[in-house]
Amino acid sequence: MSILIRQARYLIRSADRVERDVDVLIHGRRIAAIGPNLEAELTTAGKMTVLDGRARAVMPGLINAHTHLYQCVLRGLHSDLPLEPWLQAVVFPYRRQARLAYPDEAMMVAASRAGCAEMLKNGTTAFIDMDSTIGAAWRAWQEMGIRGAAAFNVANAQIPPELVAPLADIQRRVLEQLAECRALAAETPTLSFMIAAASPQMCSRPLLEWIAATAEAEGIMIHGHCAETAVEFRETVDETGFTPVGWLAEAGMLTPHTSLAHCVHVTPADRALLAEHETIPVHCPKSNMKLASGVSPAPAMLGAGIAVALANDGPASNDLQDMFEEMRFAALLHKVEGQADALTAQDAFRMATEHSARAAGIDAGVLDPGRLADVVLLNLEQPHLAAPGEIVPLLVYCAQGRDVDTVIVDGRIVVAGGRLTLADEAEIVERARRLGAERYRAMTAG
Ligand SMILES: [Zn+2]
């Protein structure tokens, strides 16, 4: 299968490399060539799809480096709370009602499919989901054609007692899930597995050390929350004598293959640790704003050469899974203290593409020959995009997810004309709405 994008009005290879009026040729899963008049390079008579790029910006797919898809059905519940009371009001009742430490299958699948539909339509081609713990959800991702990393979320402290499992049970379950995920990924390489620490103070020291050792032994990446709130920072310092970042470093959790959501409350010494270990902080500006968690020093971390990624975080604390909006909030948030170039449009774009690709461990985020063919075609023929300015700032400050026309993941067209090609959107919406209503009734009755 080949795809030829003809005469892209803009080809955004990366935040700083833009070309005009060029073709993009995709063979199989990867970009084969970029340049003018590539139809001449088509020597095989194989099946080929030709897309007209003349009214399009062609850009790398956006990568949401941290989310919780099960929360798609928990939007609108107990808004305007800070993180810790919000966990007590929304997340823990949901899990308690599910009678397991992990969300149940039908809900997880319905919520996953709704979240994947939303992300794909908004130009997100890959994501890291913390909490997806069942093969049925992973198969749903595969069927819809999106690239997903299942970051298995573990915790054994500071959560309701009925949700705490013995350490040996957690370890067994993680390894079982890793084996299942690997078996599925052998069929569809868009799937990968990570181990995620819920947060430094929600995992015992033995559990953190086990995560670090297992990730290294199995060759998988580490994910998790870190330094999200002032409460977490204070409690971790009180209990361990270390900051949250410092405590993870002590446990061997900081590696170049580790990504940490939030990193709001980090000290200059923490920043030096993150830089030293090449660990990837994941900035979630909208979630931090909604939960009043504080402002991440993302500009200072970028300035220290750290590859800060970007993410929406869960749908119950953002609440949109729209990386265009997230780029805009990232670029705007850090200007309010008086420095207009604190975090530029190019910085935000790079975070949502190249840096998030590093967090997700995928060879994407940049459009160059040999890279994975995760590509978005954005419709420029609209009133708010009819401007001759620089294309990357134009997209960061003006574009919205609904401007996305075509999405290609792993060389396959999964959104065409703004519609999903591999799934029934109406059925996805109906199922999420119905199961979400059932769960909400059960939660509020309990
Ligand atoms: Zn999160």
User: By the 8 A CB rule, do 250 and 242 touch?
Assistant: yes
**Could you tell me the fold of the domain covering 2-60+371-420?**
Urease, subunit C; domain 1 (2.30.40)
pLDDT digits (tens, 9 = 90+) for 52-73: 999 999 999 999 999 999 888 8
Distance 314 CA to ligand 1 centre (A): 6
* Domain locations along the chain: 2-60+371-420, 62-360
Distance 382 CA to ligand 1 centre (A): 34
Distance 48 CA to ligand 1 centre (A): 40
User: By the 8 A CB rule, do 153 and 195 touch?
Assistant: no
pLDDT digits (tens, 9 = 90+) for 346-392: 999 999 999 999 999 999 999 999 999 999 999 999 999 999 889 99
Q: How far is CA 208 from CA 25, 100, 153, 156, in A?
A: 44, 22, 12, 10
Contacts of 210 (CB under 8 A, 6+ apart): 167, 171
Instruction: State what percent of residues in the chain have pLDDT above 70.
Output: 97
Distance 31 CA to ligand 1 centre (A): 32
Question: Model pTM greater than 0.85?
Answer: yes
The reported pLDDT for the residue numbered 96 is: 72
**70 secondary structure, DSSP code:** G
**Mean pLDDT, rounded, for 308-327:** 95
Distance 153 CA to ligand 1 centre (A): 10
pLDDT digits (tens, 9 = 90+) for 266-288: 999 999 999 999 999 999 999 99
Distance 37 CA to ligand 1 centre (A): 45
d(C-alpha 446, C-alpha 441), whole Å? 9
**Mean pLDDT, rounded, for 227-250:** 96
Distance 284 CA to ligand 1 centre (A): 9
Structure tokens at 82: 């800070």
> Phi and psi dihedrals of 280, rounded to 5?
-105, 105
Instruction: State what percent of residues in the chain have pLDDT above 90.
Output: 80
Among 151, 152, 156, which residue's Cα sits nearest to residue 167? 156
The reported pLDDT for the residue numbered 43 is: 63
Among 102, 104, 215, 193, which residue's Cα sits nearest to residue 141? 193
Distance 311 CA to ligand 1 centre (A): 9
Distance 223 CA to ligand 1 centre (A): 10
Among 230, 196, 233, 201, which residue's Cα sits nearest to residue 215? 196
The reported pLDDT for the residue numbered 416 is: 98
pLDDT digits (tens, 9 = 90+) for 83-96: 888 888 888 777 77
d(C-alpha 94, C-alpha 358), whole Å? 32
The reported pLDDT for the residue numbered 388 is: 87
Among 86, 96, 98, 162, which residue's Cα sits nearest to residue 435? 98
**Could you tell me the fold of the domain covering 62-360?**
TIM Barrel (3.20.20)
pLDDT digits (tens, 9 = 90+) for 95-117: 776 655 455 788 889 999 999 99
Distance 263 CA to ligand 1 centre (A): 11
d(C-alpha 439, C-alpha 103), whole Å? 11
d(C-alpha 48, C-alpha 75), whole Å? 41
Structure tokens at 68: 């919780």
Q: How far is CA 17 from CA 138, 235, 389, in A?
A: 34, 44, 15
Among 128, 130, 132, 97, which residue's Cα sits nearest to residue 112? 132
Distance 226 CA to ligand 1 centre (A): 9
Does residue 237 register a pLDDT over 70?
yes
pLDDT digits (tens, 9 = 90+) for 6-25: 999 999 999 999 999 999 99
Distance 131 CA to ligand 1 centre (A): 9
Comparing 61-70, 133-142, 331-340, 431-440, the range with the smallest average pLDDT is: 431-440
Q: How far is CA 437 from CA 74, 124, 221, 414, in A?
A: 9, 27, 35, 29
User: By the 8 A CB rule, do 136 and 108 touch?
Assistant: yes
Question: Would you call 402 exposed, middle or buried from its count of C-beta atoms within 10 A (0-12, 13-18, 19+)?
Answer: middle
Number of other residues whose CB lies within 10 A of the CB of residue 419 = 11
